[in-house]
């Protein structure tokens, strides 16, 4: 059974977060074999996942943010 | 073009991480970066009356931060700064015999620039996320950066799973076209 491109995109997104079921993954790969547009989307989408996991994010710890907020509020009320 | 306005109460949540990363790429010092971001917010608040509204909030804050970073470089290059001895041995420096070897560059390493590049990549991604509508940005960050479960995000934002996936789809499509083609090679 052939799935639509919308469905394929949906399954592809879910796959990026390991949330596509086995059936969905099979249906997706069949669709990708015959749909050029979706294969393009799929490979870019996979690459985006890769980029996001490779990127270095230095997140400020929540405690630091709280401190910043407090100091900002203090400065604002003066 | 609509005029921009300032919302200092949202600054920390919306821009702190971005500005922090921006500083780390340029100064490579987390402590210092933290201080500069804090100072930037305070300075922004003080000069808020002078904000004319022709730049987006973040652009404006980044401009303030940029000046602070430049000042930092100046300070480091002043006579007094030069007189300070700054040595940065690796963490294992007290295991006396091999610190010199540990400090030497590995000629075979192809990963030398990786960490720099990855911080830059992180900035590029954050830059693109900042251009998304707020809800898309929020959902994407929760899902991708924080790795939250679909169910938890739905609960927190009070949306349905199919709704979430539509938002994720829009965010991802926008990011794919926003991120420079160079990253996709």
Residue of B21 and B63 predicted with greater confidence:
B63
Those residues whose C-beta lies under 8 Å from the C-beta of residue A5, and which sit 6 or more positions away, are A31, A35, A37, A38
pLDDT band at B112 (very low <50, low <70, confident <90, very high): low
What distance in Å separates the CA atoms of residue B104 and residue A47, rounded to the nearest whole number? 34
Q: Which of B20, B124, B9 is nearest to B57 (CA)?
A: B9
Q: C-alpha angle B170/B173/B175, rounded to 5°?
A: 105
Which has the closest alpha carbon to B40: B58, B25, B27?
B58
Domains and CATH numbers, chain B: 8-86 (1.10.1740), 133-184 (1.10.10)
Q: Is the pLDDT of residue B91 over 60?
A: no
Which of residues 42 through 61 in chain A touch B, CB cutoff 8 A?
44-45, 47-48, 51-52, 54-60
Q: Which position has the higher pLDDT, A4 or B53?
A: A4
B20 and A60 in contact (C-beta within 8 Å)? yes
Which parts of chain A have pLDDT scores under 70? 1, 78
Q: How many CB atoms lie within 10 A of CB B143?
A: 24
Over residues B113-142, the pLDDT tens digits come to 566 667 778 888 888 888 888 889 889 988
- For chain B, the average pLDDT equals 81
Range with lowest mean pLDDT among A5-14, A67-76, B63-72, B161-170 = A67-76
**What is the dihedral sign for C-alpha B170, B172, B175, B176?**
negative
The pLDDT of residue B50 is above 90: no
Helices (H), B131-182: 134-140, 150-157, 161-178
- Over residues B33-53, the mean pLDDT reads 91
Please state the rounded mean pLDDT for residues B71-78: 84
B108 or B76: whose pLDDT is higher? B76
Sort out which chain A residues have CB atoms less than 8 A from B30's CB and list them. Answer: 58
Residues of chain B whose C-beta is under 8 A from some C-beta in A? 8-9, 11-13, 16-17, 20-21, 24, 30, 33-34, 37-38, 41-42, 45-46, 115, 118-119, 121-122, 124-126, 143-145, 150, 165, 168-169, 172, 175-176, 179, 183-184
Of A33-47, B11-25, B81-95, the poorest mean pLDDT is in B81-95
Is A71 at the interface with chain B, CB within 8 A? yes
C-alpha B105 chain-centroid distance: 27
Alpha-carbon gap, residue A52 to B146, rounded angstroms: 11
Assess whether pLDDT exceeds 80 at residue B46. Answer: yes
Please list every residue in chain B whose beta carbon sits closer than 8 Å to the beta carbon of residue A44.
176, 184
Query: What tokens appear for B180 in the block?
Result: 């420079």
Residue in A closest to B185 by C-alpha: A47
B16/A71 CB distance under 8 A: no
C-beta separation of B178 from B131 below 8 A:
yes
ipTM: 0.80
Asked if residue B104 has pLDDT above 90, the reply is no
The upper half-sphere exposure of residue A10, i.e. CA atoms within 13 Å in the direction of its Cβ, equals 14
Q: Single out the residue of B171, B154, B28 nearest to residue A52, CA to CA.
A: B171
Instruction: Decide if pLDDT at B70 tops 70.
Output: yes
User: Could you say which DSSP state residue A3 is in?
Assistant: P
* Predicted pLDDT of residue B100: 58
- pLDDT for the residue numbered B1: 45
Percentages of chain B per state (helix, strand, coil), in multiples of 5: 70, 0, 30
């Amino acid at each position: 059974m052939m799935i639509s491109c919308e469905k394929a995109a949906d399954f592809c997104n879910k796959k990026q977060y390991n949330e596509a079921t086995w059936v969905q993954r099979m249906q997706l790969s069949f669709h990708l074999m015959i749909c050029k547009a979706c294969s393009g989307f799929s490979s870019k989408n996979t690459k985006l996942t890769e980029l996001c996991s490779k990127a270095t994010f230095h997140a400020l710890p929540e405690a630091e943010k709280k401190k910043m907020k407090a100091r900002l509020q203090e400065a604002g009320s003066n | 073009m609509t005029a921009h306005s300032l919302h200092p109460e949202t600054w920390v949540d919306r821009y702190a991480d971005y500005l922090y990363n921006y500083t780390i790429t340029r100064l490579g010092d987390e402590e210092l970066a933290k201080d500069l971001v804090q100072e930037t917010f305070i300075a922004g608040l003080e000069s808020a009356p002078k904000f004319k509204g022709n730049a987006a909030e973040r652009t404006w804050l980044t401009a303030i931060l940029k000046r602070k970073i430049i000042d930092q470089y100046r300070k480091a290059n002043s006579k007094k700064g030069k007189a300070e001895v700054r040595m940065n041995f690796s963490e294992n420096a007290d295991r006396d015999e091999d610190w010199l070897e540990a400090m030497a560059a590995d000629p075979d390493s192809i990963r030398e620039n990786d960490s720099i590049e990855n911080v830059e990549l992180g900035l590029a991604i954050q830059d693109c996320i900042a251009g998304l509508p707020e809800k898309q940005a929020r959902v994407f960050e929760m899902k991708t950066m924080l790795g939250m479960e679909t169910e938890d995000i739905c609960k927190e934002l009070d949306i349905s799973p199919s709704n979430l996936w539509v938002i994720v789809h829009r965010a991802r499509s926008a990011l794919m076209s926003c991120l420079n083609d160079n990253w996709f090679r």
